[in-house]
Structure 1
Amino acid sequence: MRLLCLLTGLALLSRISHAQPSPTAQDIAAIKGQCGCHDVEFVYAETFAPDKNYSFKDRYRAKGTEWVFVEEDRPGKIVIQHLLVIGASTPGETMVIKHWREDWLFENTSLLKFDQNATWKRVRLTPAQAKGQWTQQVFEVDDSPRYEGSATWVHADGRHFWESTADAPLPRREYTKRSDYNVLRRTNHHEITADGYVHEQDNDKIIRTESGDQLLVSEKGLNTYKRTDEAKCQAAKAWWQKNRAYWADVRAVWNEVLASRTTVALRGQVKGNVLGRELDELAASAQQSTYNSAASRQLIRQTIEKYLK
């Protein structure tokens, strides 16, 4: 299965298409076609506001290098991890940041839907609704929930894409800067390209109250992933080897916590601290001695539970 991550997305899909596989095999190839070391550009621009007096915010643009790889692969589930590499072209000054994670589940009928105020509520799909679909579960850098959407991968006219709409918290680029809206309704379009993939977004910034939802402003986003020299991600690969066992335990604890709840609500801070920082500190401690998974999971669970309402 590792070969699926070594071939470029469209080349792999072409090979599979000529073999006349099942649609599911094409889906899996497309999901894994996102793998690789990428130069990434993030671009966002607000486009429309119903209130003519609204003051459009400045456009956002950022660049980076990101290693995207399959961390877990079993029937009906593919876990893809993103690691951000800062200073990838400057040896000796490279820094690796654990970035977001996406789990892909086939014909999944149980989703967490974001409500507001760091609260998610479980919703159910019927088997008929979920038939042939893949759920993309997106998680924060601390592996807490972010948003989930379900849709069918489309393979037609030489294109391979997946598109779904889901409510989400404010993006990291805005959640510390803005309080004029509280829900980001994201239409996510993932499409495999010849040299990587594109994550296109049509977003609505929503003010949600007890009386309903009100559109503040719409936004266009374009995250372009282009494969680059694998050497630029070598630091990320080395970092993951050292930290993989710990973050696998964080993931396992979160899976257990989320599976038992119909509503998930998180505290932003506990005694002036935040969950991501505490989990990072535990990760650093885990590097200081022989790693004990059972003891680590206990500490991880205690830490996460402090932030659950």
Structure 2
Amino acid sequence: MKRILFTLLIISIGLQTTAQTNKKELDKEAIKKMCGCFEVTFNFAETFNYSNDSLYKPSKNKVSKGLEWAQLVTDKEDQIEIQHLLQVGSPEQPMIVKHWRQNWLYENTNLYSYNADNVWTYENKSADEVAGQWTQKVYQVDDSPRYEGSATWVHVDGKSYWENIANAPLPRREYTTRSDYNLTVRGNRQEITPYGWVHDQDNSKVVRTANQEDRVIAKEKGYNTYKRVDDSKCAAAAQWWVDNQEKWALVRTKWDEVYNKNKDLHLEQKVDNKVLYKHLFGEGYEDQKSIDQLIESFVKE
């Protein structure tokens, strides 16, 4: 009898392991479906106003379009990294803009949570908290941190999606025009669709002040659609990455060194009156030493 029970236990463990492996492969397949060439439409609209200021003006609806090349940078067992590149302008002479980067890590325990005012708080989760989950780490155009969150990919009723709530800085379309809030609480849903994928957002615009309760001044809806098109349409962006990937590998190497210290991170807004991406997008930062020194100048100890 004991031998039978032991055999059944071994079979059960084997079936669970196989199921977990199959689930993980489905997760990876879904994530990699976000790679390729897409016609993108970015839609944002402020939906609810909670401000006590009678002169409060909601943000205008924002709709923009473009081509986006999502380049697979890393494809490992527990890591999938995708670099996004915007391709805008005329098809004959397009302009390429290095866009955001997303890094997916399986059962990752180290995260950085944005805490307003250019400060990210380091968090260490237990292995039990992140079992079966993927962390999505989203980075700015200069590979500095943006927001991170851990959740489980769901595959049900023919759908594949991932949902998470994460604290983030103001988006660029807001921080150049708004100063009445300092934190975005992002509700993110990434769902794979028959035409490509969609980034569905329910965001809160929050005022965070030390030793006070967070105050929500408005809600925002974001709905960004990525419609897959032939990769040839993004040939210019794909070539740009071939030509520039070595430099950005050096940038990621330095940032990884910073992140791997596993401690709170406070960044300067500007150095020499310029934000980091303007330094990196300019001339003079092509080798590891100069890139290291530049990024270190933005990291407050």
The alignment's TM-score, normalised by the length of structure 2, stands at 0.89
Say whether residues 1:227 and 2:218 are aligned partners.
Answer: no
Verify: 1:75 aligned to 2:66, yes or no.
Answer: no
| Mapped partners of 2:128, 2:168: distance in 1 | 25
Deviations 1:20-69 (A, max 9, x none): 96100000000001111000000011111234744322111111110012
Displacement of 1:268 in angstroms is: 1.1
Q: Are 2:273 and 1:304 aligned?
A: no
Task: Name the counterpart of 1:44.
Answer: 44
Deviation at 1:278, TM superposition (A): 1.4
Q: 1:59 aligned to 2:50? A: no
Query: Partners of 2:172 and 2:178 in 1: how far apart?
Result: 11
Cα distance in 2 for residues equivalent to 1:241 and 1:56: 41
Query: Which segments of 5 or more consecutive residues in structure 2 lack a partner in the other structure?
Result: 1-18
SS of equivalent to 2:63: strand
Please give the residue correspondences for 1:46-195 in structure 2 after superposition, counting only pairs within 5 Å. Answer: 46-51=46-51, 53=54, 54-87=56-89, 89-91=90-92, 93-195=93-195
Q: What is the CA–CA distance in structure 2 between the aligned matches of 1:108 and 1:219, rounded to whole Å?
A: 29
User: What secondary structure sits across from 2:295 in the alignment?
Assistant: helix
Specify the alignment match of 1:268 in structure 2: 269
Check conservation: 2:71, 2:238, Cα contact below 8 A: no
In the superposition, relative to structure 1, how do residues 74 and 21 fare at CA in structure 2: closer, same or farther (>3 Å)?
closer
* Counterpart position of 1:10: none
Using the alignment, how far apart are the partners of 1:209 and 1:76 within structure 2?
37
Q: Give the Cα separation in 2 of the matches to 1:235 and 1:82.
A: 13
C-alpha displacement of 1:281:
2.3
Determine the C-alpha separation between the residues in 2 that align with 1:121 and 1:264. Answer: 6
Q: 1-side partners of 2:98 and 2:297: how far apart?
A: 22
Aligned-CA RMSD value: 1.6
Structure 1 range deviating more: 40-49 or 147-156:
40-49
Check 1:116–1:37 CA distance in 2 against 1; reply closer, same or farther (3 A cut): same
SS in 1 for 2:174: coil
Give the distance between the partners of 1:21 and 1:75, measured in 2 at CA.
Answer: 11
Distance 1:279 1:184, change over 3 A: same
In 2, the alpha carbon distance for the partners of 1:285 and 1:255 equals: 18
**CA–CA distance in 1 between the matches of 2:285 and 2:221?**
41
> What number of residue pairs does the alignment pair up?
279
Match runs of 1:221-260 below 5 Å: 221-260=222-261
Larger radius of gyration: 2
Note the alpha carbon deviations across 1:165-219, whole angstroms, 9 max, x for none: 0000000111111001000000100000111100000000000012120000001
TM-score by length of 1: 0.87
* Alignment partners' CA distance in 2, 1:57 and 1:305: 35
- Alpha-carbon distance, 1:90 to partner: 2.4
Please give the secondary structure, in 1, of the residue aligned with 2:70: strand
Once residues 293 and 49 of structure 2 are traced to their aligned partners in structure 1, the CA distance between those partners, rounded to angstroms, is: 44
In structure 2, distance between residues paired with 1:81 and 1:27: 18
Q: Decide whether the 8 Å contact of 2:110 with 2:262 is kept in 1.
A: no
SS in 1 for 2:30: helix
Give 4+ residue runs of structure 1 displaced > 6 Å after superposition.
none
Paired amino acid for 2:219: S
Quote the offset at 1:229 in angstroms: 2.8
Paired with 2:99 and 2:20, the residues of 1 have a C-alpha distance of 36
Identical pairs, percent? 46
